[in-house]
Structure 1
């Protein structure tokens, strides 16, 4: 498979005030993340809330500027590209946001929302654009006569379909989907995930699918990366990671996934001890070691690097075996 996206060791820190005492501190939101996505591939990015996965997605589409590292799209470095240089790149990479209510202009008509990217990039004349928008509405399961409605006239699932249509308007190669179904009812989630899978096959899209629902990620992803406190702790083929998780944090996540079989008994989920460390003061060595049941002295002083393990995936753990 040809490499579409190559993210190399990107980091992001946010400066926040310390409070009543004055001064400021740096929040290490993302710390040295590397990943790649091939044409037509889906990489699932999972982890607890606050682990930095959405920040990674926003840096890829340049809604946030990385402090360190590189982002290459089809071999071209876009890490610090100017606004003008990014313009043609934005046709290749689009984003679907978690909350369709917040990502759609409530004053615009639905058809205008989908048409706007075409106008901005000078695609087609008015008649051609209207035909393109109607086609996209049909493809995502909306009716063309709904093009004149404002977003408040749509249900939550329909608004996310509208957001998907907008992301497809410019025929991108990559879509960063930032928890695209987490704000939807469970019955609607499956419909939207299946729609995204069908669209991927039809248009040859690649996805970075950011989520915290491991069941959804397993359904749609070719590979999966697990994040903890700003870094990737395990990455590999979805089947390998789910069948034989190698990092203690990944194993904890997998054990917590509900299994719809009332006749099957399950062992109690091993809950990591303590609380998630503060990104204002991350631990030395392995970020997971203060909560890890198998941590040893080396874990507190030496940061483990991703390395190949028995499952075929890569895990950042001194004791993965």
Structure 2
């Protein structure tokens, strides 16, 4: 498969106030992250809240600009291009946000929301645009007679379907889905994930699927990248990550996934000791070492690089074996 997106060593820092103590500090939200996505592939990006995964997604669609690194979209580095140059490139990469209530204008009618990207990019006549909107409604499981409704007239699952239709309007090559089902009921989550899978096959889309629900990620992803405190600690094929996790943090995440197995009902779930370190002051060496049960002196002193391990994945751990 040909590479669609190639992310190379991107980093993002934010300057924040220290509050009553005065002064400012730097938050290392994303630190030297690299990965690629092939055409038609889904890469799941997982980790605890605050690990930087949503920041990565926003940099890829250029809602945020990285402080360092490259973001190659079909070979073009979009990391630091001007808004004028980025405007036509936005047709190739779109985003689905976690909360459709926040991403959809409550005053606009549903049909106008989906048509708006076509108008902004000057695509088609008015009648052609309305026909395309009606077709997109049908493809995501909405009715044409709902085009005149405002978002509040839709259920939560329908609003996310509306957001998906809007993202599809420009025929993108890549969609960044930032926690697209986390705000939905479990029964609706499955419907939306299945819809996204069907649309991917029909349109040949690639996804960066950002989530903390590992069960959902396993269902839809070809490969998975695990983030911890702004860094990728393991990346590989979904089967390798889920069945033979190599990084201690990944093993802990997988152990916490609910499974319908009576034998596990009373088994103890391993929880990392301590709290997640502050991104204002990340620990030296391996960022996970203060909570890791197998950490040694080298873990406290030297940051482990991502390297190939027995499962076929890459893990940033001195003791992955």
Q: What interval of TM-score do these two structures reach, taking the shorter chain for normalisation?
A: over 0.9
1:40 aligns with 2:33: no
**1:301 aligns to 2:298 (yes or no):** no
Partner of 1:244: 244
- Describe how 1:135-154 pairs up with structure 2 within 5 A: 135-154=135-154
Find the aligned partners of 2:317 and 2:264 in 1 and give their Cα distance: 31
Correspondence for 1:279: 279
Per-residue CA distance 1:192-250 (angstroms, 9 max, x = gap): 00000000000000000000000000000000000000000000000011010000000
Structure 1: distance between partners of 2:270 and 2:155 = 38
- 1:95 is matched with 95
- 1:164 maps to 2:186: no
1:115 equivalent to 2:115? Answer yes
Distance in 1, matches of 2:182 and 2:93, equals 22
The corresponding residue for 1:176 is 176
* Match runs of 1:187-198 below 5 Å: 187-198=187-198
Unpaired runs of 5+ in structure 1?
none
CA distance, structure 2, for counterparts of residue 296 and residue 121 of structure 1: 55
User: Paired residue for 2:311?
Assistant: 311
Correspondence list, 1:79-94, <5 A: 79-94=79-94
Q: What's the counterpart of residue 25 of structure 2?
A: 25
- CA distance in 2: counterparts of 1:145 and 1:261, whole angstroms: 45
SS at match of 1:225: strand
Deviation at 1:266, TM superposition (A): 5.8
Check 1:23–1:29 CA distance in 2 against 1; reply closer, same or farther (3 A cut): same
Which structure 1 residue ranges, 4+ long, deviate > 3 Å from structure 2? Answer: 263-267
CA deviation vs aligned residue, 1:141-175 (integer Å, no higher than 9, x gap): 00000000000000000000000000000000000
Deviation at 1:264, TM superposition (A): 4.7
Shift in Å, 1:262: 2.4
Q: CA deviation at 1:267?
A: 3.2
Structure 2: 5+ residue runs without aligned partners?
A: none
Distance 2:221 2:264 in 1: 26
Give 1:208-247 correspondences, 5 Å limit. 208-247=208-247
TM-score, with length taken from structure 2? 0.99
Q: Offset of 1:263 from its aligned partner?
A: 4.8
**1:105 corresponds to:** 105
- Displacement of 1:261 in angstroms is 2.3
Segment of structure 1 superposing worse, 265-274 or 130-139: 265-274
Indicate the RMSD between aligned Cα atoms, in angstroms: 0.7
Change (3 A) 1:191 1:304: same
Cα distance, 1:19 vs structure 2: 0.8
The count of residues paired between Structure 1 and Structure 2 equals 321
**TM-score, reference length from structure 1:** 0.99
